[in-house]
């Protein structure tokens, strides 16, 4: 007899798993330490005129599978009306069996809207009406959805030149207790050969208050911005290292490279690697001083479809998994940081699962400082945040390191409805532990297992990141 689809014991295949999920994981609050939510939409408690706006206006995960399902771009990012876009999504969802979006779509309908029917072309009209009526009512603003999901901390992803005005305004809200903290994402400072570098440098000069016309001034400006983010509650940085490079260099050489970039607009690949290496080692020293966590997101292959990149820009569903050897440059970068004064708390992610053993084992080369889980092999990211990917990452972490010290899941999302990804992860975590217990591979020690689940779901992150004054969830 087939189990009911997406029932209360969804993904839970043993009594232990069921008990661990329902009695421990299910009601834990959430620390979402990496996402792409708009701090302005949180500040404004943005409401959504319909489910198309909430689901389809910015989610390139959905755009990508709609294209793969043969939906015309007009109904994805084009000028079709919202109901027709929703219908295109409703026609796509039944084709997604096996894809996490099939699970996430129905989890979100269940958890936020009390809809338990399958979404398809036939049920779309009634679901459109039922969901939109709720979205247009009370309790479905951006801040409401965060509060309802028991999220105590949201870390947005922010450029160093950002004013953080929205984060400041959110902090002053008396009726909203979730910490919304900026993450320092200095990609444009590192990408010295991209067209964005010079215009960004002009922005940096403005917020710095002095012209950034030398490498010394550049580093001073970056330091000023790191401390500005710290004063705003920031405790996390994030770096997209699509191609991981490392090259030893000196401050003098890095300065010459920076001057060449200003004068000539381009530097060699070797010089770019030296700029990135020296700047990252410098930033890591600041992160360590301020007890921040540094995230490294490795091996994305971005914006692969040039015509569509020109038309829609980045993060629009045209990315892929990159590949290539990372062990030696990763070791070089982390060792360079350790040698220069010490690595900060670090979380290593790769978009390529082939890198997982390298990440998990290199992480083990830099643990220490009396910090549990100091160097984290991070959760399955982007194309891997599905059932198989999450389980693979946890199994490798367990085999190579200390799963019990894992800081767990994040949404990495642009949608306020994505917090069910934490539920998805928690179910998988409990099922993995339950499977080990059922096979006698882990002790059936309820207290030990409950503590491990609660820590991975929440307390490890709470302790690891040390966010200022997390307000306990009532
Ligand atoms: O942080 C990144 O660079 C990626 O996560 C990227 O933003 C991507 O669009 C994403 O959100 C994947 O979940």
Going by the DSSP 8-state scheme, the letter that residue 459 receives in this structure is I
* 212 contacts: CB under 8 Å, gap ≥ 6: 201, 204, 205, 218, 221
Please tell me if the CB atom of residue 85 comes closer than 6 angstroms to any atom of ligand 1: no
pLDDT digits (tens, 9 = 90+) for 340-386: 998 999 999 999 999 999 999 999 999 999 999 999 999 999 999 99
ipTM score of complex: 0.95
The gap from C-alpha 155 to its chain's centroid, in whole angstroms, comes to 9
The torsion defined by the Cα of 54, 58, 64 and 69, in degrees rounded to 10, comes to: 40
- Judged against a pLDDT cut of 70, whether residue 470 lies above it is answered with no
Please tell me if the CB atom of residue 359 comes closer than 6 angstroms to any atom of ligand 1: no
Strands 345-350 and 375-377: parallel
State the distance from the centre of ligand 1 to the C-alpha of 176, rounded, in angstroms.
26
Q: Tell which one of 34, 35, 36, 385 to mutate to probe ligand 1, the residue whose CB is within 8 A of the most ligand atoms.
A: 36
Maximum pairwise Cα distance, the chain:
71
pLDDT in the model for residue 469: 72
The H-or-E segment that residue 320 falls in is strand 320-321
Please tell me if the CB atom of residue 394 comes closer than 6 angstroms to any atom of ligand 1: no
Residue with the nearest Cα to atom 3 of ligand 1?
240
pLDDT in the model for residue 189: 98
Query: Which ligand 1 atom sits closest to the C-alpha of 34?
Result: 1
Q: Tell which one of 61, 237, 315 to mutate to probe ligand 1, the residue whose CB is within 8 A of the most ligand atoms.
A: 315
pLDDT digits (tens, 9 = 90+) for 69-83: 999 999 999 999 999
Please tell me if the CB atom of residue 242 comes closer than 6 angstroms to any atom of ligand 1: no
pLDDT in the model for residue 474: 45
Please tell me if the CB atom of residue 34 comes closer than 6 angstroms to any atom of ligand 1: no
Please tell me if the CB atom of residue 142 comes closer than 6 angstroms to any atom of ligand 1: no
Q: What percent of the chain has pLDDT over 90?
A: 98
Mean of the per-residue pLDDT values of the chain: 97
- Judged against a pLDDT cut of 50, whether residue 449 lies above it is answered with yes
Please tell me if the CB atom of residue 144 comes closer than 6 angstroms to any atom of ligand 1: no
pLDDT in the model for residue 468: 87
Q: Tell which one of 382, 413, 421 to mutate to probe ligand 1, the residue whose CB is within 8 A of the most ligand atoms.
A: 382
Please tell me if the CB atom of residue 412 comes closer than 6 angstroms to any atom of ligand 1: yes
């Amino acid at each position: 007899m087939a189990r009911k689809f997406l029932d209360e014991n969804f993904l839970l295949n043993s009594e232990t798993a069921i008990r661990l999920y329902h009695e421990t994981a299910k009601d834990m609050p959430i620390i979402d330490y990496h996402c792409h939510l708009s701090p302005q939409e949180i500040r404004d408690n943005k409401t959504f005129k319909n489910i198309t706006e909430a689901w389809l206006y910015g989610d390139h995960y959905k755009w990508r599978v709609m294209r793969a399902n043969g939906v015309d771009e007009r109904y994805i990012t084009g000028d079709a009306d919202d109901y027709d876009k929703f219908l295109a999504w409703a026609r796509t969802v039944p084709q997604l069996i096996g894809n996490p979006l099939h699970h996430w779509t129905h989890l979100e309908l269940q958890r936020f809207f009390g809809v338990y029917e399958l979404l398809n072309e036939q049920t779309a009209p009634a679901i459109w009406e039922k969901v939109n009526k709720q979205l247009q009512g009370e309790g479905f603003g951006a801040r409401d959805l965060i509060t309802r999901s028991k999220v105590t901390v949201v870390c947005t992803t922010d450029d160093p030149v950002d004013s953080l005005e929205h984060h400041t305004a959110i902090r002053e809200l008396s009726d909203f207790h979730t910490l919304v903290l900026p993450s320092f994402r200095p990609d444009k400072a590192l990408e010295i050969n991209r067209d964005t570098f010079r215009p960004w440098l002009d922005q940096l000069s403005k917020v710095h208050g002095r012209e950034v016309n030398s490498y010394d001034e550049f580093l001073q400006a970056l330091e000023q911005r790191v401390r500005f983010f710290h004063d705003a509650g920031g405790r996390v940085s994030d770096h997209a290292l699509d191609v991981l490079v490392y090259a030893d260099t000196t401050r003098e050489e890095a300065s010459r490279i920076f001057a060449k970039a200003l004068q000539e607009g381009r530097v060699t690949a070797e010089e770019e690697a030296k700029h990135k290496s020296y700047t990252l080692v410098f930033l890591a020293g600041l992160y360590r001083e301020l007890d921040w966590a540094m995230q490294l997101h490795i091996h994305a292959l971005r914006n692969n479809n040039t015509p569509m990149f020109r038309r829609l820009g980045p993060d629009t569903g045209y990315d892929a998994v990159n590949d290539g050897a990372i062990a030696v440059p990763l070791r070089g970068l982390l060792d360079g940081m350790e040698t220069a004064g010490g690595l900060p708390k670090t979380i290593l992610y790769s978009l390529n699962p082939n890198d997982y053993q390298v990440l998990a084992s290199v992480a083990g080369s830099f643990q220490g400082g009396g910090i549990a889980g100091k160097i984290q092999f991070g959760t399955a990211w982007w194309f891997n945040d599905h059932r198989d990917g999450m389980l693979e990452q946890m199994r490798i972490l367990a085999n190579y390191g200390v799963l019990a010290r894992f800081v767990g899941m994040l949404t990495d999302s642009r949608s306020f409805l994505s917090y069910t990804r934490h539920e998805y992860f928690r179910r998988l975590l409990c099922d993995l532990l339950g499977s080990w217990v059922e096979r006698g591979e882990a002790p059936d020690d309820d207290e030990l297992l409950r503590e491990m689940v609660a820590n991975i779901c929440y307390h490890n992150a709470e302790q690891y990141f040390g966010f200022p004054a997390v307000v306990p969830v009532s």
